[in-house]
A and B are shown apart, each in its own frame.
Chain A
């Protein structure tokens, strides 16, 4: 039997939700949603669960991840209960639920704490540089190692356990029987959704937005690959150099579009931005731009005298890799695609 917990709403509000208590359960949001199907009908059910505080039902549900926030539900809500923004907040809340360290929740809820964490990361880089007496070669060498080890550690220690926790909440705990064969055969689905986000195409009038997002993901992953595996900053190959430039340009131009949309607040999905949303897009932008800058300084041979640009890039990189990737909005990349995978398994 479910226990009603009206205080859950207060908790959700810290993740950005508001006014969802106004809902009078007409189901208009679900009916106008182009992704809602007979088997997976949302968002009204999620609004209801949130109002009643049925945390376990939300934890075992994949529906928040099945929503790609076109905003039709909010536009057409007769009670202005902002169901779209509630779904967004549930995704933030679920991110903190899946995170075994509990840091996600703290960072989502507290902007001062987030700022503190960012300052701490920056200080770490600066102290390290001072210790190394601002020796460019050493810092760049460790910077490159940092990238590789940070990826492995964050994935192994934080993200993988969190995915397993998600699996526990949505498959194991509700005692859903899935054969090993299904796990294997559904794997293709996981890859497709991870790299194409094709479900977002099902949203109304979302082709352009999907395309921008798709290019950004490709640009970001490509840039990651180019810097970490192909070692863009040390490479002499013309192909790698040009590829790195191209990918970093993609990253910072597309993020400019996303940031300006959040400033203009024209679309439903960009009307309400939490600190986590701002940090995610702005840091992605800074990463692309600073990486671009570093390589420009290398190619114009002025990096030796302008080591600050690399330090700036490294600070942004460390903040990104240690805060935003494991505990911030970056995780939606994994949870969204795994949600599609688990949905297929169920």
Chain B
């Protein structure tokens, strides 16, 4: 494969186009700095763009993210590479870096695609839709999701059978199977790492039976079922498509649990579960929702009121960690736990179980700097060398961290953290002019 080497220079390289990376990039660009965002996914917006509503205000997440994302895309000072990854970053001088960036082919000419979706209709291949967290299928020629940015089709070449149906169906003829990987060498003065987090994989807790029992889903799958662009237009349990009437939330799935190597609190699961419980009470007025918790950590502004509100709406809260889950023949699930307030082990039947999965460090950024040492903390998040005086600073001069790359946090804190990263980067850039 022929490699195309292209060179360019920017003030700041932002790794990750989620809400933290986007916010940091926007702040920098609005102040006249030239920014390059490298996003691994096909759309910017990160995890927030896929959410239903945000706690504790119950604002529509898409309604906040979509204008933000389009502002980021339209800002002339920001260049965005989607479907791309940073291979490595080398410190060239005291205050300059050189980054190697790999842009994967989308097999669609971005500028010409009108998002008409005719390629999607033509494509005969159906695979699981990762943007709906495998709840439904998508085609191999597809638009990632309705509010994606850029809203442009892409070919999933790994699953494509190269039948050419999409090429024939495309009115502007923008599908181009001759596209190849492009490599860029980019000169930059500063880096902001905003690689976000990974969701805990509940397959690591076999006694919960996730993956084995059809009616156990993750909180992100429930989030998609509650979102405005939801796949089923109602809440269904995946096993048989029944509308559930007894929902259980299993808190601390993959958080505060030394057995899976993550002994710390993920900081968001209590609140997003309480939020989903409230949304479920609206979506399924007849349903019982029970949240099994260890401790409810409603520490943020408005969080305690939000928790009280959920209790007032009739959400059941039971103190006790779920020990085991087993499945009945009808697909219902038996949850075994100790009711801490009664000192008794109990078994309760639910027809759908939502595992409130925790926040795990994304270690992708750890290996980007072959010559420097990017320090990680005990839980593999990026270490903040001076969390009180300069929270965005990392162990490498000129490299800053924004959002959940530095540790578990909610959306307002991520945006605050992005603000601090962009401010510190700006001050660094001005001082090193």
Q: Do A and B bind each other?
A: yes
Interface residues of A (CB under 8 A from B): 24-33, 36-39, 41, 44-45, 75-80
User: Is B320's CB under 8 angstroms from A26's CB?
Assistant: yes
Among A26, A39, A45, A79, residue most surrounded by chain B Cβ atoms (within 10 Å): A26
User: Is A44's CB under 8 angstroms from B257's CB?
Assistant: no
Among A33, A76, A78, residue most surrounded by chain B Cβ atoms (within 10 Å): A78
User: Is B252's CB under 8 angstroms from A41's CB?
Assistant: no
Give per-residue flags for B320-331: 1 if the beta carbon is below 8 A from chain A beta carbons, else 0: 111110000000
List 29 A-B pairs, Cβ < 8 Å: A24-B294, A25-B340, A26-B252, A26-B321, A27-B320, A27-B321, A27-B323, A27-B339, A27-B345, A29-B323, A31-B323, A31-B324, A31-B336, A31-B337, A33-B323, A36-B338, A37-B345, A38-B345, A41-B343, A41-B344, A44-B338, A44-B343, A45-B343, A76-B259, A77-B258, A78-B252, A78-B256, A78-B257, A79-B263
Given A27-B321, A27-B323, A36 and B345 contact (CB-CB distance below 8 Å): yes
Q: Please, which residues of chain A bring their CB within 8 A of the CB of B207? A: 32, 76
User: Is B321's CB under 8 angstroms from A77's CB?
Assistant: no
Q: Please, which residues of chain A bring their CB within 8 A of the CB of B263? A: 78-79
User: Is B258's CB under 8 angstroms from A78's CB?
Assistant: yes
Q: Please, which residues of chain A bring their CB within 8 A of the CB of B252? A: 26, 78
Does B346 touch A at the CB level, under 8 Å? yes
Q: Please, which residues of chain A bring their CB within 8 A of the CB of B346? A: 38
Min CB distance, A275 to chain B, in Å?
A: 29
Min CB distance, A342 to chain B, in Å?
A: 20
User: Is B322's CB under 8 angstroms from A31's CB?
Assistant: yes
User: Is B338's CB under 8 angstroms from A41's CB?
Assistant: yes
- Cα–Cα, bound, A31→B257 (Å): 15
- Cα–Cα, bound, A45→B340 (Å): 9
Within 8 A of A (CB), among B130-167: none
User: Is B338's CB under 8 angstroms from A30's CB?
Assistant: yes
Considering only CB atoms, which chain A residue lies closest to B347 in the complex? A38
User: Is A30's CB under 8 angstroms from B323's CB?
Assistant: yes
The number of chain B residues with a CB under 8 A from chain A is 23
Within 8 A of A (CB), among B286-313: 294-295
- Cα–Cα, bound, A76→B322 (Å): 11
Within 8 A of A (CB), among B61-116: none
Considering only CB atoms, which chain A residue lies closest to B258 in the complex? A80
- Cα–Cα, bound, A24→B319 (Å): 12
- Cα–Cα, bound, A147→B125 (Å): 82
Among A31, A37, A38, A41, residue most surrounded by chain B Cβ atoms (within 10 Å): A31
Interface residues of B (CB under 8 A from A): 207, 252, 256-259, 263, 294-295, 320-324, 336-340, 343-346
Considering only CB atoms, which chain A residue lies closest to B295 in the complex? A24
User: Is B321's CB under 8 angstroms from A28's CB?
Assistant: yes
Considering only CB atoms, which chain B residue lies closest to A27 in the complex? B338
Q: Please, which residues of chain A bring their CB within 8 A of the CB of B339? A: 27
- Cα–Cα, bound, A329→B346 (Å): 33
Q: Please, which residues of chain A bring their CB within 8 A of the CB of B257? A: 78
User: Is B337's CB under 8 angstroms from A27's CB?
Assistant: yes
- Cα–Cα, bound, A249→B236 (Å): 62
- Cα–Cα, bound, A33→B207 (Å): 12
Q: Please, which residues of chain B bring their CB within 8 A of the CB of A37? A: 345
Min CB distance, B356 to chain A, in Å?
A: 14
Q: Please, which residues of chain A bring their CB within 8 A of the CB of B336? A: 31-32
User: Is B258's CB under 8 angstroms from A31's CB?
Assistant: no
Across the A-B interface, give the 9 residue pairs with the lowest CB-CB distance, nearest first: A31-B323, A27-B338, A26-B321, A30-B338, A78-B257, A32-B323, A41-B345, A28-B321, A27-B320
- Cα–Cα, bound, A26→B258 (Å): 13
- Cα–Cα, bound, A340→B149 (Å): 67
Min CB distance, B262 to chain A, in Å?
A: 9
Min CB distance, A120 to chain B, in Å?
A: 45
- Cα–Cα, bound, A39→B346 (Å): 10
Q: Please, which residues of chain A bring their CB within 8 A of the CB of B338? A: 27-28, 30-31, 36, 41, 44
Q: Please, which residues of chain B bring their CB within 8 A of the CB of A76? A: 207, 259, 323
Given A30-B338, A41-B338, 6 other A-B residues pairs in contact with their CB atoms under 8 A:
A25-B294, A26-B294, A27-B323, A27-B338, A27-B345, A31-B338
- Cα–Cα, bound, A148→B337 (Å): 50
- Cα–Cα, bound, A28→B260 (Å): 14
Q: Please, which residues of chain B bring their CB within 8 A of the CB of A29? A: 323
Min CB distance, A77 to chain B, in Å?
A: 7
- Cα–Cα, bound, A45→B321 (Å): 14
Q: Please, which residues of chain B bring their CB within 8 A of the CB of A44? A: 338, 340, 343
Given A27-B338, A31-B336, A78 and B321 contact (CB-CB distance below 8 Å): yes
Q: Please, which residues of chain A bring their CB within 8 A of the CB of B295? A: 24
Given A32-B323, A44-B338, A79 and B344 contact (CB-CB distance below 8 Å): no
Given A24-B294, A26-B252, A77 and B259 contact (CB-CB distance below 8 Å): yes
Q: Please, which residues of chain B bring their CB within 8 A of the CB of A78? A: 252, 256-259, 263, 321
User: Is A75's CB under 8 angstroms from B345's CB?
Assistant: no
Min CB distance, B270 to chain A, in Å?
A: 14
Considering only CB atoms, which chain A residue lies closest to B256 in the complex? A78
- Cα–Cα, bound, A44→B323 (Å): 12
Q: Please, which residues of chain A bring their CB within 8 A of the CB of B323? A: 27-33, 76
- Cα–Cα, bound, A76→B324 (Å): 11
Considering only CB atoms, which chain B residue lies closest to A80 in the complex? B258
- Cα–Cα, bound, A101→B272 (Å): 58
Q: Please, which residues of chain A bring their CB within 8 A of the CB of B259? A: 75-78, 80
Q: Please, which residues of chain A bring their CB within 8 A of the CB of B294? A: 24-26
Q: Please, which residues of chain B bring their CB within 8 A of the CB of A38? A: 344-346
Q: Please, which residues of chain B bring their CB within 8 A of the CB of A24? A: 256, 294-295
Min CB distance, B292 to chain A, in Å?
A: 10
Among B207, B322, B323, B338, residue most surrounded by chain A Cβ atoms (within 10 Å): B338
User: Is A79's CB under 8 angstroms from B258's CB?
Assistant: yes
Considering only CB atoms, which chain B residue lies closest to A45 in the complex? B343
Q: Please, which residues of chain B bring their CB within 8 A of the CB of A77? A: 258-259
- Cα–Cα, bound, A286→B195 (Å): 62
Considering only CB atoms, which chain A residue lies closest to B320 in the complex? A27
- Cα–Cα, bound, A32→B322 (Å): 9
Min CB distance, B293 to chain A, in Å?
A: 9
Among A32, A45, A75, A77, residue most surrounded by chain B Cβ atoms (within 10 Å): A32
- Cα–Cα, bound, A36→B322 (Å): 14
Min CB distance, A82 to chain B, in Å?
A: 11
User: Is B345's CB under 8 angstroms from A31's CB?
Assistant: yes
Q: Please, which residues of chain B bring their CB within 8 A of the CB of A30? A: 323, 338, 345
- Cα–Cα, bound, A80→B256 (Å): 11
Considering only CB atoms, which chain B residue lies closest to A74 in the complex? B259
Q: Please, which residues of chain A bring their CB within 8 A of the CB of B256? A: 24, 78
- Cα–Cα, bound, A75→B205 (Å): 12
- Cα–Cα, bound, A330→B258 (Å): 35
User: Is B343's CB under 8 angstroms from A31's CB?
Assistant: no
